[in-house]
Copies of this chain bind each other. A is one copy, B any other.
C-alpha cells in the first residue's frame, strides 16, 4: 500500500497511510492545528513524531463531507524505535524470541537493509496507536479552543479528545492486497484445511489470532465426541449404562481439553512473541473521572477515585442488580413452563396439525426472549460497570465479564436445570436442549454476521454508486476506500465470540450424558462459525487495532469453571438414571452417597490432573529459561569487567 497521497494542503512528502483519525465535523481550527502540531512534533519536545495529512473528500449529492478526517503514517526509523517502545518481541537469529532493540536490529532474523518489511502491517499500526495514545499534555491547561475541556500535565491527549467527543473515531486501514490474500487462504477456498493462524495474527493481531486458534482447537477437540455421539442417535441407545460411559469420557475430555489448550496457546503466544513480553503500563480508561490528585505509582496528576467508593457501588448496587436480573430470568422461565403446559394441554384436548405446531411455539418464543434479555442485560451490565468507574480497561473487563457470564449462564441453562433436576423429565430435557441449541445458533449467526453484512452492503452500494458517478470507472482509489471504511461498523472485540463458544461448551458438557448429539451440532455450528467470523472480520467491520495477548485470559477461567459445573451436573444426571437406581433398590440414601463420593473423587482427580500437566510445553520453557540465563550471565560478565576496571 505504498501509495502517494496527493492531498491539497500537505507540504510533506507522500507516505503510506496506516490509520485514520476522524474529528468531529465542527472541531475548532485551533484545536486541529494544535493536535496536528503535537502529532508531528519531535519526540524530545514531547511529540509523537508521526506523519499526518488531511483528507478532502469530494462533496456528494450536495452533502458536505466531514473535512476533519486525517491519515496518520510514520517513517520507517520512527516505527523501528516505536517497536522498542512498545516492547515488541521478534525472532532472533538463534530462533528464540527476544525484545526488539534498535541497537541490535541487525541480529534479528528477517532484518535486511534498512528494515523495510521487517515489521508487519498490524505491528506498524499498533505502534502508531501506542504513540498516539501516549501523546501527553505538557503545560496546556485545556484543549485549545475548548476552555472547558481541561488538561493536566501527563494526561493522554487522545483519551481526552475521545471522552469529550472531539475525536469521533480512529482506526487502522485495511490493506487491500493482504486482505485479498488472507481471505482467499482463509475462507474463500472450500477445502478441508487448518486456518492460516499466522496470517490472521499478522493481519489482525494476537488477540484475534488466539480466538481463531481456540475456535479451531475447540472444534477439532469436539470431533471425537461427535463421532461417539452419532451411534447413540442412530441406534437410539436409550441405555443409561452407555450414557454413563459417555459422561465419564466427557469429564476426562473436558479437563484434558482445557489443559492441552493452555499448552497450545503458550506455543502460539511464544511464536507470536507475546508470551515473554512484559505488559506495557496501562493508561487510565477514557471515561475514568474523579477529582485530580497524585497517582502514587506514577507521581503524575490524574483523576483519583477511592476504591472504597467503587466497592460501595459494586456491592450495594451492581451485585443486587445482578441478583434482581437473575430473579427476573427465573420468573420468565416459570412463565415459559406455564406456556409449555398450556400448549401441551391444548394439544391433548384437540390433537391436529395446528396444535402440534403450537407445541414448538413456547420453546421458540423462550429462545428468542432469552436472546433479547441477554442483549438488554448486556447494555445494563456495561452501563453499570462503566458507572463503577474503573481506572483501567483491564479492571473494567474483569468486572464486566463475570456479570455478563453469570447472567448468560443462568438465562440459557436455568430451564434445562429445572427440567433435569426438578421435573426430572429426561425426554423433555433432550428436546429442550436441541431446540435451545439450534435456535440460539441460528439467531446468533444471523445477528452477528448476516444482519450487519446486509445493512453494510446497502450502505456501501449507496456510497459506491455515488463515488462511481464522480470518479468514473477507475480502480477503487484510496480516498474511496477510506470513506467506505469510515462508515463501516466497529468490531467491539472478541467478547461476544468467546461468549458464544462458552455457551456452546456449556451445552456440550453440562448435559452431554442425555444428549450425545450436542457435540455434532456444535461442530457443525463451529464450521460455519469460522466462515462467518472470518467473513465479518474481513468485510463487515473496520479493521481493529491489533491487541497483544499471551492467552485467552479470563475465558480460560470461565471454561474451567464450566467444566467443574459439568462434573456436578453429569454426576447428578447419572444418579437420576433408572439403571443406576436399580443397583440400589432399597435405599436412595446409599445411591446418593455413592454418587457424591464419585463426584468428589472426580473433582479431586480433575484438580490433580490440572496441577500435574505443565502449562507451558517443555521446549518453550527451555527457550524462556535460556533467555533468562543469558541475561543473568551477561550481567555477571559486565560486572566482572567493571570490577576489573576499578
A interface, CB within 8 angstroms of B: 43-44, 81, 84-85, 102-103, 280-281, 296-298, 307, 568, 587-589, 591-593, 596, 600, 618, 622, 625-626, 628-629, 632, 636, 639-640, 642-644
CB-CB under 8 A from A81, the residues of chain B are 639, 643
Give the Cβ gap from A564 to chain B, nearest Cβ, in Å.
Answer: 9
Query: Quick one: which of B307, B589, B596, B618 contacts A588, CB cutoff 8 A?
Result: B589
A566, B44: Cα distance in complex, Å: 61
A568 with B640, Cβ < 8 A, contacts A625-B297, A629-B297 known: no
CB-CB under 8 A from A44, the residues of chain B are 640, 643-644
CB-CB under 8 A from A639, the residues of chain B are 81, 84-85
Nearest-neighbor residue (CB-CB) of A43 within chain B = B640
Residue contact A85 to B588, C-beta cutoff 8 Å: no
A398, B399: Cα distance in complex, Å: 35
CB-CB under 8 A from A298, the residues of chain B are 626, 629
CB-CB under 8 A from A588, the residues of chain B are 587-589
CB-CB under 8 A from A591, the residues of chain B are 589
A283, B72: Cα distance in complex, Å: 51
Residue contact A297 to B596, C-beta cutoff 8 Å: no
A643, B298: Cα distance in complex, Å: 24
A643, B568: Cα distance in complex, Å: 60
CB-CB under 8 A from A625, the residues of chain B are 297
A596, B592: Cα distance in complex, Å: 9
Task: Enumerate the 4 nearest inter-chain pairs by beta-carbon distance, A residue then B residue, closest first.
Answer: A588-B589, A297-B625, A296-B622, A297-B626
Give the Cβ gap from A561 to chain B, nearest Cβ, in Å.
Answer: 9
A632, B632: Cα distance in complex, Å: 19
Give the Cβ gap from A122 to chain B, nearest Cβ, in Å.
Answer: 23
Given contacts A81-B639, A298-B626, A592-B593, 9 further A-B contacts (CB under 8 A): A102-B642, A103-B642, A296-B626, A297-B622, A307-B618, A588-B588, A588-B589, A589-B592, A592-B592
CB-CB under 8 A from A568, the residues of chain B are 600
Give the Cβ gap from A522 to chain B, nearest Cβ, in Å.
Answer: 26
Residue contact A281 to B592, C-beta cutoff 8 Å: no
Give the Cβ gap from A402 to chain B, nearest Cβ, in Å.
Answer: 10
Residue contact A629 to B589, C-beta cutoff 8 Å: no
Residue contact A43 to B296, C-beta cutoff 8 Å: no
A281 with B43, Cβ < 8 A, contacts A592-B592, A593-B592 known: no
A610, B589: Cα distance in complex, Å: 32
CB-CB under 8 A from A644, the residues of chain B are 43-44
CB-CB under 8 A from A84, the residues of chain B are 639
